[in-house]
Amino acid sequence: MLQLYKNRSLEVGKKVRVYFNLHTNLFSVVSMEGKHKGKVVAHGNGIIIADAEFKVNKAGQLKVRKTKRKSVHAYVDGIFSGLTDETLNKQAYYNPYLTDYFVDWESKANVFKANTVVLKDKRVSYL
């Protein structure tokens, strides 16, 4: 499911940044190129990202730890590849109070890159 925001467009193959939006309870998709660069273009669930990088803004992380107030400072960058109802085998998570980076759910190893990521139901799964 994908809801376009303010009549903006999102095309497969475009660079995006995705984060979980606490206000909508969906993932927000920010365009990283083109006419709407740097702006939210859609909200959705089951978003597929290829050539993904997991990023955490350190200054934002420190601010959250200091103020105990949530803010957007962790996201997945990559290429928008469509939507799915499926999830992938591995899961990652990020908790600004407990981890410095995104972490694999089972091994607890830091995760920085993945070939494919699915952002669905507040979860991050990857290959």
pLDDT of residue 123: 96
The CA-atom distances, in angstroms, between 38 and each of 34, 64, 67 are 9, 22, 26
The pLDDT of residue 2 is: 95
SS3 category, 100? coil
Low-confidence ranges of the chain (pLDDT < 50): none
First to last CA, the chain: 21
Q: Could you state, in order of their start, the residue ranges of all structural domains in the chain?
A: 2-126
Give CA–CA dist 27/4, Å, rounded.
Answer: 12
pLDDT digits (tens, 9 = 90+) for 49-84: 999 999 999 999 999 999 999 999 999 999 999 999
